[in-house]
Structure 1
């Protein structure tokens, strides 16, 4: 079977597994605010889906995205998920014989998009406690050359869960400005950080933010995200987007309701996912060889090192799959460091997190004798 067909079949099996506990995709499985459900149902009953949405998104949603991101003066372009926005950005600004600088670990797909556009991807290793598992200004500055066209920063980092301070973001933005490079600030996980600083506010000339509604609002299957940049950049990105007929109207109505009611309900989501983080930290501390490099995480996930426990991440993933729990192997994010850890997503019902913790000692033992799993994705 071709690799793409195998990958699709793998996820089709997961999606059609009754009762599967999704602790691997960083998606939000808590119930949304009732207003979000009502907005979708009302739009469905009205038949809103019979018409295309405005090409850049409903104006009310665009306004709310800018307000929520804290970037006055910017412009928003609503997309079919943040990944479509990143595809459009990378396809538009990446060029042959230029460098796309990012971190290792990071999120892999923008690297694929950059390479497809002819750019060379430079991955700067950050899996190091000595630098706080974050990109340093000195590290970035040393990597800048006349070829540098794009700097891609996932902040908070996926999968590490680290988040840059305001001073660190200001320094990174200054380096990008000096290099006259675009700075893509992927803020997918910003809602879960104690303190998040938009790079746009330091470098509006060439900063492009991407936002997602999959993680904090739980609309992963409804595919909605956005690009934020200055109006001139949005004009450039709007010239030939992957979708010029507007994003899903039901998803947009849900997002409007989610943003309008966010202050009422999201603090409780944050409390619950941090509670789940604490449960996993306690469980990991009770198993020799397991270690959480970053705790608490500033995203809705944790990485757990398995290498000192004498098991591979892939074996632990396979062991948990036998119990109806999905977690993710580190190689999804990084070939260089992926052998060290698994990733666990924690915007999930407490019962799911507690089941993961309850099984952890037994799953580690099972992983010691698990046969090599079939391909994981």
Structure 2
């Protein structure tokens, strides 16, 4: 069986497990607001699914996204989720011989999109206390060349949970401008950050802001997001989008409703996931060899370093999967540093977290005796 078939079958098994506690994909499992559910039900009752949505997205949603970001004068192109936005940007602006710069760790798929477009990918290591688990502008400046076409910044970083300061964003935007490069600012986890700064405010002409409803609103399976950029940039992107017949109208109706109740609903989600982070950190500190190097995290997840405990991340993941809990091994994000950590999602019911922390000492001991290679994705 080909690798993509094996991978797909693996995730098909997971989605077929109704009691699985999803704590590895940063998905948001907070109970949906009734207004969001009603918007979807109304869309189905009215059978809107017979029609195509506008190619750039419903106008109410486009303006709502720009308003949520506070980027007046910018334009939104609604997409089939943030990953589709990234695919589209990479394939629109990269050519063979171009250079794509990002961090290590980073979100992996844009690197694959860049390579498919013929670009060379350069990663700047940021893992470890020596780097503060963050990208310094000085190291970015040293990596940029005259071939640099795209600088890709996941901020807050997935999987680390660090977020750029205002000064760092200003310096990164200046570096991108001097290089005449596009700056893709992937803000998928912006809503969970303690403080966040948009590069588009400082470098509007070539910053591409990636917006997602998968995480803060919990619509991961609905696949709806957006590219937000200068209208001239969006005009280029709108000339040949992968979803030229419009993204799912059902998903867009849910997203519009979500924006309308965000101020009422999301603070409770945020408070719960931050409390979940604290439960996990406290539990890890009680187990010899485990540590949480980035706390609090600016995402809806934490990394837990486990190499000092004498266990492999894959072994710990496998032990929790046997108990119906999915967490993620570091190698999913970085082959260089992936043997050091696991990642745990925190925008989940507190009872899931309580089960996780109760099992943690036992799972660590079991993983210590099971360090053979475990096939994971």
TM-score (norm 1): 0.99
How far apart, in 2, do the equivalents of 1:323 and 1:254 lie?
Answer: 33
Q: What's the CA shift for 1:301?
A: 0.2
In structure 2, the residue matched to 1:345 is 345
Q: CA RMSD in A?
A: 0.8
Moved over 6 A (4+): none
SS of 1:274 mapped into structure 2: helix
Q: What's the CA shift for 1:371?
A: 5.7
Q: What's the CA shift for 1:131?
A: 3.1
In structure 2, the residue matched to 1:102 is 102
In structure 2, the residue matched to 1:262 is 262
How far apart, in 2, do the equivalents of 1:218 and 1:6 lie?
Answer: 27
In structure 1, the residue matched to 2:88 is 88
How far apart, in 2, do the equivalents of 1:373 and 1:65 lie?
Answer: 44
In structure 2, the residue matched to 1:209 is 209
Q: What's the CA shift for 1:98?
A: 1.4
How far apart, in 2, do the equivalents of 1:371 and 1:129 lie?
Answer: 26
Q: What's the CA shift for 1:17?
A: 1.1
How far apart, in 2, do the equivalents of 1:74 and 1:156 lie?
Answer: 21
Q: Can you give the 5+ residue segments of structure 1 that lack an aligned partner in the other structure?
A: none
In structure 2, the residue matched to 1:26 is 26
| TM-aligned CA distance change 1:304 to 1:371, over 3 Å | closer
Q: What's the CA shift for 1:373?
A: 4.9
Q: What's the CA shift for 1:195?
A: 1.2
Q: What's the CA shift for 1:8?
A: 0.1
Q: Indicate if the aligned counterparts of 1:98 and 1:149 stay in contact, CA closer than 8 A.
A: yes
SS of 1:338 mapped into structure 2: coil
Equivalent residues, number? 377
How far apart, in 2, do the equivalents of 1:376 and 1:241 lie?
Answer: 33
How far apart, in 2, do the equivalents of 1:130 and 1:261 lie?
Answer: 42
Q: Can you give the 5+ residue segments of structure 2 that lack an aligned partner in the other structure?
A: none
In structure 1, the residue matched to 2:221 is 221
Q: What's the CA shift for 1:246?
A: 0.5
In structure 1, the residue matched to 2:57 is 57
TM-score (norm 2): 0.99
How far apart, in 1, do the equivalents of 2:19 and 2:159 lie?
Answer: 25
Q: Indicate if the aligned counterparts of 1:318 and 1:373 stay in contact, CA closer than 8 A.
A: no
Q: Indicate if the aligned counterparts of 2:189 and 2:215 stay in contact, CA closer than 8 A.
A: yes
In structure 2, the residue matched to 1:251 is 251
Q: What's the CA shift for 1:24?
A: 0.2
Q: What's the CA shift for 1:262?
A: 0.3
